[in-house]
Amino acid sequence: MSMLDFKYHYLLTISYDGSSFNGWIIQNNKRTIQGELTKALNKLTKKADFSLLGASKTDAKVHALDQKVLLGVDFEIKNLSLFKRGLNRSLPLDVRVNDLITVDKDFKVRDVKQKTYRYTINDQNFDLFTQRYELNWFEEEIDINKLQEIFNLFVGSHDFYLFSGLSEKEKADFKTTRDIEEIKVLRNKENKIEIYFKAKGFIRYQIRMIVAASLQCYLNSKRSSVELIKERLNGKGDKSPFNIDAKGLCLMKIEY
């Protein structure tokens, strides 16, 4: 059944620690966010029919604080607070439902105004208790102003195919020209680096490949120079050969 076949629609706001997940999309014999939500809903609704659609298809190991999920059912949820509590009791501790509201039947969960992602880098002392959520940087301390100048190359409208995980065959089915509204590099109160990306949408591995290319450029790699980055953003040359650990990436905010 498709989402429009269901009489009632609800919007869930969820957060999760992606460390032990193989991404959002349900997969056979693999632990996923959609899979855990499906199991919890089966338990709570006594296996009534329902449909789930996530706003962002996060990859394996990526975290989220504000993922949005559309739920379609044929029964009215009269007590949203009680239903949310029941869901959280049925979910594992690394997935939480933060909010549950009623939405119109024509609500489109993927028609967003803006998504905000954060990538975290620890270029200070190794932290055992936060290392699951950040890239550990073992080079010299990063000059965030210099790094910001490199990231500025990616702001605006560009063809990001050469900074994506899409195959040549997949390219025809995806819009690879995207508009990144803002990339902001800063240090937080723990003196770690946070890089914020704001755009309407991103393609597979785009943020991670941008971060990897920028860090290689920062280290003066000949395979990721300023000139090569500019060429690739114009669709010239080969794909950027660099990607980076997913654990530093977190979906922070989705706005409608």
As a whole number of angstroms, the distance between CA 173 and CA 204 comes to 13
% of the chain residues with pLDDT over 90: 95
pLDDT band per the 50, 70, 90 thresholds, residue 172: confident
The answer to whether 92 touches 234, Cβ cutoff 8 Å, is no
User: At residue 178, does pLDDT exceed 90?
Assistant: yes
The pTM score is 0.96
**What residues are labeled active site?**
59
Mean pLDDT score, 91-107 = 97
As a whole number of angstroms, the distance between CA 67 and CA 255 comes to 10
As a whole number of angstroms, the distance between CA 49 and CA 107 comes to 19
As a whole number of angstroms, the distance between CA 171 and CA 120 comes to 29
Q: What is the pLDDT of residue 4?
A: 87
Q: Which residues pair with 102 in a beta bridge?
A: 10
pLDDT band per the 50, 70, 90 thresholds, residue 1: confident
- Closest to 211 (Cα-Cα) out of 230, 237, 236, 183: 183
Mean pLDDT score, 9-37 = 97
The answer to whether 14 touches 61, Cβ cutoff 8 Å, is no
Q: What's the number of CA atoms in the CB half-sphere (13 Å) around residue 238?
A: 5
The structure tokens listed for 117 are 């992602």
- Mind listing the pLDDT tens digit for each residue in 120-157? 999 999 999 999 999 999 999 999 999 999 999 999 99
Q: What is the pLDDT of residue 174?
A: 87
pLDDT band per the 50, 70, 90 thresholds, residue 173: confident
Contacts of 88 (CB under 8 A, 6+ apart): 96, 97
